[in-house]
């Protein structure tokens, strides 16, 4: 590309600064503009320098009321040191409330961090602890194997129920907890559940760089059509 004129950066920054300062004033916040090689890199570096706890990103070019992670969101959700939240399109026009917060658990330490985040945000509101049991007989039942797989379904439901009860018991008395046991393909079941939630908290997948956000298969699928804000917590975030 040809070299940009000397005043190009100044001309780009002036309208950007005006817009971001107006937005900050509306929400009694502060404004900052940084220069970076990409939007995602700039946001990550800025958040780290601020020692931020949470980075919130909006969604564009998606139906109102739904979440769909774009390129910047996915880059940040594969390496951010702080928690990353994705707000549905049109969320600024919705009623701001966190009455029912969902936490998806699967027994991993990472999902435990998501539950801790949900309880901390809920304070005196309600947390819905959600887990998905496998439906092996429906998915793989053939050639006479259905009976054995149905027994596996029963065992999966039982262990999932125990996990839900143990997880809910960890919440303080000030938080109202309920448990939801779902069956089937986890992203689909959690996506359906998101319609009744004000926020859904997820943990990072169980491997990769420590103290980083890292999307797993479930969270990656879910970030396409969730109907509430989605919060992904970094690994090892105490």
Q: What would the pLDDT profile of 15-54 be if each residue is shown by its tens digit?
A: 888 999 999 999 899 998 888 888 888 888 898 888 888 9
CA 222 to chain centre: 9
Residue 12 lies in a domain: no
Does residue 16 form part of some domain? Answer: no
Q: Which domain holds residue 84?
A: 53-233
Radius of gyration of the chain from its Cα atoms, rounded to whole angstroms:
21
The reported pTM is 0.81
Q: Per the domain annotation, does 106 fall within a domain?
A: yes
In angstroms, how far is the first alpha carbon of the chain from the final one?
Answer: 46
State the total domains in the chain.
Answer: 1
The C-alpha atoms of residue 205 and residue 65 are separated, in whole angstroms, by 26
Residue 166's CATH number: 3.40.50.620
Do 203 and 114 meet the contact criterion of CB atoms below 8 Å apart?
yes
Q: Which two tokens stand for residue 192?
A: 């359906």
Q: Tens of pLDDT along 77-123?
A: 877 888 889 999 888 888 878 889 999 998 888 889 899 999 999 88
87 in a structural domain: yes
Around Cβ 227, how many Cβ atoms within 10 Å? 18
């Amino acid at each position: 590309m040809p070299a940009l004129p000397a005043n190009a950066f100044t001309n780009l920054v002036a309208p950007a600064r005006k817009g971001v300062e107006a937005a900050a004033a509306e929400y009694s916040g502060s404004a900052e503009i940084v220069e970076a090689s990409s939007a995602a890199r700039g946001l990550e570096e800025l958040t780290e320098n601020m020692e931020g706890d949470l980075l919130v990103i909006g969604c564009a070019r998606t139906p109102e009321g739904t979440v769909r992670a774009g390129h910047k969101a996915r880059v940040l959700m594969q390496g951010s040191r702080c928690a990353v939240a994705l707000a549905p399109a049109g969320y600024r026009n919705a009623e701001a409330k966190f009455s029912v917060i969902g936490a998806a658990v699967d027994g991993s330490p990472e999902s435990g961090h998501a539950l801790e985040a949900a309880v901390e945000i809920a304070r005196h509101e309600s947390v819905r602890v959600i887990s998905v049991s496998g439906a092996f007989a429906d998915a793989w039942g053939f050639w006479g194997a259905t009976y054995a797989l149905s027994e596996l379904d029963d065992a999966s439901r039982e262990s999932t129920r125990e996990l839900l009860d143990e997880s809910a018991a960890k919440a303080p008395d000030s938080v109202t907890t309920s448990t939801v046991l779902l069956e089937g393909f986890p992203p689909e079941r959690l996506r359906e559940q998101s319609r009744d939630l004000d926020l859904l908290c997820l943990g990072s997948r169980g491997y990769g760089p420590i103290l980083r956000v890292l999307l797993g298969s479930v969270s990656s699928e879910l970030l396409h059509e969730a109907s509430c804000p989605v919060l992904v917590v970094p690994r090892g975030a105490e």
